[in-house]
Amino acid sequence: MLSASSLLILAICAGWTFYVARRWIRRRGVLPIAVAVLAAFYAANLYFGKGNGDGLTQRVVLPLGMAFYVLRLVHYLFEAFKGNLRAHDFGEYLAYHFLPGSLPLGPIHRFDEFLRGWRRRRFDHPAFVHAMQRILYGLVKVVVVGNYNLGLQLSPYVAHWRETSGPLGSYLADLHYWTLLYVVFSGYSDIAIGFGALTGVTLRENFNWPFIARNISDFWQRWHMSLSSWCRDYVYIPVLAVSRRPSLALVSSMVILGLWHSLTLHYLLWGLYHGIGLAAHRRYRTARGEPQTRGPVASRVIQVATTVLTLNFVVLSFQVTDLVETWLLAGGV
């Protein structure tokens, strides 16, 4: 849980960002400096505020809460610089950043979308029931399916498989972790979307069946969609505008995304892995031509299977922090 001091720090950052966006953002050089200040603040938080717990929530969920908060601040600065923000007061600005549910783990909602729903909010009984159902659905996914069944009950068996079943056991263990990650993250997103609906705000959907993605590009259009769209708007498009090189923009986006998770070498390599994979897929698709939107069922099954097999190696970066251990586990698979 966030302490009073943590909330105070968040409030100070929000106030500073609001002031910069109102007073200085259109001045030359202010935007990159402001973004660099927020990045430095986030890096300091990663370094000094590491959790001590061993569970998924302590190692992943709570650190990412600050990460999502900083991404919303950067989004606000960019939109203020471009002049895309409608007139609003400080109270509406704070309500955007401290919206219940979305603060710990997203989704990364946009300010204009929030403001539209916030100003039109009213009590609607069917909408209230639907919101409560979505929250309950998310709680079941996180607590029952994720933490209890996949975590507490299944994890001992998974550890045994990894130790005794060779490459197959290693692969199944990684697939188990990937499934646990998806269930917990998507469950938190369901809870956040439900809380948002209670306040009249429609938050973005975050997941769209990523396990059936046909390729790595399709995967990133289905997995953590609000984060992917943030990277597209504030990393990919600016880098592409400057360099005119889509491959460089893709790699840059994924490197930033990797370092956003953690300022470590293995997350840098994680970002490079994904970026190079996306760039290679783009070149392959360009050389081959745009694929048909509908194809034989067998072909689509093969595409999904190869995507799952390939992305399974990337899961290693979420589980271990030592590069040698990662290499050994990959060799086991």
In tens digits, what is the pLDDT along the chain, a chain of 333 residues?
555 666 787 888 899 999 999 999 999 899 999 999 998 888 877 766 554 444 444 444 445 567 888 999 999 999 999 999 999 999 999 999 988 778 767 789 999 999 998 998 888 889 899 999 999 999 999 999 999 999 889 988 888 887 887 777 777 887 888 888 899 999 999 999 999 999 888 899 999 988 888 888 888 889 889 999 999 999 999 999 999 999 999 999 999 998 888 788 878 888 898 899 899 989 888 887 755 555 555 555 666 555 655 555 555 545 544 444 443 433 444
Please report the pLDDT score of residue 215 as a whole number: 82
Task: Tell me the two tokens of residue 176.
Answer: 């188990």
pLDDT of residue 174: 76
CA proximity to 134, closest of 204, 196, 208, 221: 196
Q: How far apart are CA 149 and CA 295, in angstroms?
A: 36
Write out the two tokens for 9: 């720090």
Give me the residue spans of the domains in the chain.
4-98, 125-199, 210-323
* 3-state secondary structure at position 262: coil
Q: What is the pLDDT of residue 52?
A: 47
Cα pseudo-dihedral 9, 12, 13, 17, rounded to 10: 170
pTM: 0.81
Q: Are 247 and 274 in contact (CB under 8 A)?
A: no
Cα–Cα distance between 92 and 48 in angstroms, integer? 31
Q: Where are the alpha helices (DSSP H) in 49-154?
A: 56, 62-82, 90-97, 102-105, 111-119, 125-139
Residue 319, Cβ density class (10 Å: 0-12 exposed, 13-18 middle, ≥19 buried): middle
By C-alpha distance, which of 107, 269, 274, 263 is closest to 194?
107
* Model pLDDT, residue 173: 80
Q: What whole-number distance in Å separates Cα of residue 258 and Cα of residue 237?
A: 18
Distance, in Å, from the CA atom of 116 to the CA atom of 58, rounded to the nearest integer, reads 34
